[in-house]
Amino acid sequence: MPTAYISHPACRRHDMGAGHPECPQRLDAIEDWLLTSGIDVALQRHEAVEVRPADLELAHTHRYVAELSETLQGLAATGESRAMDPDTVAGPHTWAAALRAAGAAVQATDLVIDGEAENAFCAVRPPGHHATRDQTMGFCFFNNLAVAARHALDVRGLKRVAIVDFDVHHGNGTEDIVAGDERILMVSIFQDPLYPYCGAVPKGENMVNLPVPAYTRGGEVREMIEAQWMPALEAFKPEMIFISAGFDAHREDDLGQLGLVEADYEWITQRVMSVAQRHSKGRIVSCLEGGYALGALARSVGVHLRTLAGV
């Protein structure tokens, strides 16, 4: 079966202003790499659908969904922009992009569960892993991956899923949503201290948080993953795996100070796939999170996709 690649033009139109690192050009860089590498022919392309409010409320409170929806729709109508926090700006195109970003994650989940794709990658923005149950933060509005994971459990009937997060920043929003949910195992590795300045102490027994200091390189990261992620994932036996695929731990990315390179992302993807092949029928859904050095982002997404697609 093919690897599904899901995106939408609306995700590019979301713009938080000149000079903001979470910029539309991130998706352009990935698309350019796909075209020049030739891997595009190995992917099954899909346009992202809009997420349903009922799916958003699997991860977020009803009040948060209603209030954020009203705010973003209002900005779409007036053409204005609004700072939601010091780092996160909503504009006239944010509503459409947020619907498609979360919708892509749910759509990918259905494609993979239904056997129409072996795995999937969602090239979407805005990202999601800092969005908590009831708060917008860190460039994120809806928690795309948490919505998809809960959809797999609550709508599609899976019993156990795992979330893997290798963004340089701790996925505090995802942790806020899934901590204590025994149906979900979340494993993550992130620079500490670094925004959002939490995660060193997990919020639930279903969390395996690996904070690492600045300038940690790939070899040390691999050792920690092998020693702590892998036994937990093997024991949990997830029926599906979701990846918060942030590539800002790359040594060229200025938003963090870790030392990963493309080969490390390839290795991490291979190790996650090995668990999926043993326990999850190969089922993986990966969603773009961080990654702000455009060249490094494109190359890193490239090896991630090549590994997922087996080419």
Q: Which residues are identified as catalytic?
A: 130
Residue 101 near residue 48 (C-beta atoms within 8 A)? yes
Rounded CA separation 247/230 (Å): 20
Alpha carbon of residue 16 to chain centroid: 19
Nearest to 27 by CA among 42, 13, 48: 13
- What's the 3-state SS for the chain? CCEEEEECHHHHHCCCCCCCCCCCHHHHHHHHHHHHHCHHHHEEEEECCCCCHHHHCCCCCHHHHHHHHHHHHHHHHHCCCEEEECCEEECCCHHHHHHHHHHHHHHHHHHHHCCCCCEEEECCCCCCCCCCCCCCECCECCCHHHHHHHHHHHHCCCCCEEEEECCCCCCHHHHHHHCCCCCEEEEEEEECCCCCCCCCCCCCCCEEEEEECCCCEHHHHHHHHHHHHHHHHHHHCCCEEEEEECCCCECCCCCCCCEECHHHHHHHHHHHHHHHHHHCCCCEEEEECCCCCHHHHHHHHHHHHHHHHCC
